[in-house]
Structure 1
């Protein structure tokens, strides 16, 4: 009886060991598959962004982080608190022309409160640019890149920016087509038609609910040839940001994250290191925010048109003290209360 009991115990132990080995083996296989899938998706995304269809060509290249044009000059400092402030810029770069900033945003992600806030700064907002005098805020980028724009925002609004991220408009279309290859459902409120003199920009959208591709969605967020002008454009940009956020935190969106990184890399210039990006990405995907809070500056109750001498022209004037208080309360309200 003793021998039989001992034999049963030994058989049970052997079965447990086999199950443990099988579990560990499956776990290791899952890790390898995940790593392989991530690498494949990353390379596929990068190939698509670079316009390459030859998979063998990529095998002989090392994956390098895109060199930042402005990283050395940007003086933003991470204060290592639970809030990350990023200067988000959308630019239209054409050949050797000075890049134009059509989109200027301050984005804040609070890892402790699990909130995300975005303030869109209208490009004609009249501000004091350090050592250059008053001008439209987008002139700061044209004069001195993201660093001078950082200084301008700090001096005028008291918001300290730690990082910057500049995305070319071509990159926007690639991102949309990667996250939502079948397009995004959008309710276009009115017909939108615009064709630039040189034909480089052509927007032609009909009113109604429809599914827009990356290129069509770019036209949707850039359009301003109506009575709403930049006001309507900023509103649509914030609308699309929330739509993309919903796609990203979906299961299919998470699976596409490695491809998205590879796709976006050739079109983005940032001083944020890969470690910080992965850390924030992990926090955001594991603890997604319900809604990205949005604000437009100047606000409706604090803005008026004003014409300045050439070459500045028509600007969005505002009570500077009130604008500063609005942004301070928006981004730092809980801390200052």
Structure 2
């Protein structure tokens, strides 16, 4: 073998050794960074959801997603203390289309009067107390013929900490009037940037002329803006820390593969913004007071079922009239 060939071989082996050594160093440093950031996030979090409590309910037995369309049941609670009941304070359906990368959000008013399987007619937020996420899933399927494939239960006590990590510069909102009653603070009217605790007060406030309808609108507004922050470069760099903060406050059956699929789609997709909808839709319900359950929203089931199914369908299948009727943004 010629001397020049031996030198080339030696140089090639040396280059491979340097490459693998560099790769090993990067992986080790990356692992250390991930663990440190995750632990840092967990140290910021407090005691969150009792994830063992959900084992008392029936297992979540949803159908597998079809045609790349994923529906996630979001159950939120701002209950404080052990004397509070276990009813879900917020009930939403988050929809993700893997083909179009579209994100849609449906808020179901908690006083919507529906038939809960095996329990009869009740407010829809009662379903969680009676049977956990699985009974809520069955209730939505029974009344609206819509399948949800996963669930995520969120404890609002962790909301401020999550927001401050995801959006350290805060979220800009336009407060229409002074908000104070029932939120432990006073928010003045006008455009301003809110941080964790203030933003929680903003989405929880319901003592205004719109009552619970206004609160639903604010929740949708804030979640849309948080979604944009969550897929920013800042959040990608701080992903381990965000996961550490979020972990104690969310109980979910969404598997890691699905989370990565949705995350990749949001990062690489071209879809902008987030479409939102409220159930019941306009001109489809009445506010009534029933002796057994108090204030409820009695609804036109067929009208709401059709509007919800149309909204969650692919864009080219939804008529303009359906969207105008059901969408709040």
TM range (shorter): 0.7 to 0.9
Superposition map of 1:1-337 within 5 A: 7-8=3-4, 10-50=6-46, 67-71=51-55, 73-81=58-66, 82-96=68-82, 97-195=84-182, 201-287=183-269, 289-308=271-290, 310-332=291-313
For 1:318 and 1:261, the matched residues in 2 are separated by: 39
- CA deviation string 1:108-135 (max 9, x = no partner): 1122221111110011112112222222
Counterpart of 1:101 in 2: which secondary structure? coil
Q: Cα RMSD over matched residues?
A: 2.6
> Given the two structures, how large is their TM-score scaled by the length of structure 1?
0.84
Q: What is the Cα deviation at residue 334 of structure 1? A: 6.2
Residue by residue over 1:224-243, the C-alpha shift from the partner in whole angstroms, topping out at 9 and shown as x without a partner, is: 11101111111111111111
Q: Give secondary structure in 2 for the equivalent of 1:224.
A: coil
Per the TM alignment, residue 148 of structure 1 is displaced from its structure 2 partner at its CA by 1.7
CA distance in structure 1 between the partners assigned to 2:132 and 2:240 by the alignment = 29
Residue pair 1:124, 1:138 contacting (<8 A) in 2 also: yes
**1:303 Cα offset (Å):** 2.7
- For the residues of structure 1 that align with 2:120 and 2:165, how far apart are their CA atoms? 42
Kindly tell me the number of residue pairs found equivalent between the two proteins. 314
Distance in 2 separating the partners of 1:188 and 1:325? 33
TM-score (norm 2): 0.86
Rg larger in 1 or in 2?
1
Unpaired runs of 5+ in structure 1?
52-64, 196-200
**Residues 94-119 of structure 1: CA distance to partner in whole angstroms, max 9, x if unpaired?**
33232232210011112222111111
Per-residue displacement from partner, 1:254-274 (whole Å, max 9, x unpaired)? 112211111111111222334
Aligned equivalents of 1:84, 1:252: Cα separation in 2: 26
Give the 3-state SS of the residue equivalent to 2:77 in structure 1. strand
CA positional deviation for 1:14: 4.2
CA deviation profile, 1:146-173 (whole Å, cap 9, x unmatched):
2221111110000111211111111211
Displacement, 1:19?
3.9
Deviation at 1:283, TM superposition (A): 4.0
Q: Once the 2 structures are TM-superposed, how far is the Cα of residue 332 of structure 1 from its aligned partner?
A: 2.9
**Aligned counterparts of 2:18 and 2:270: Cα–Cα separation in 1:** 34
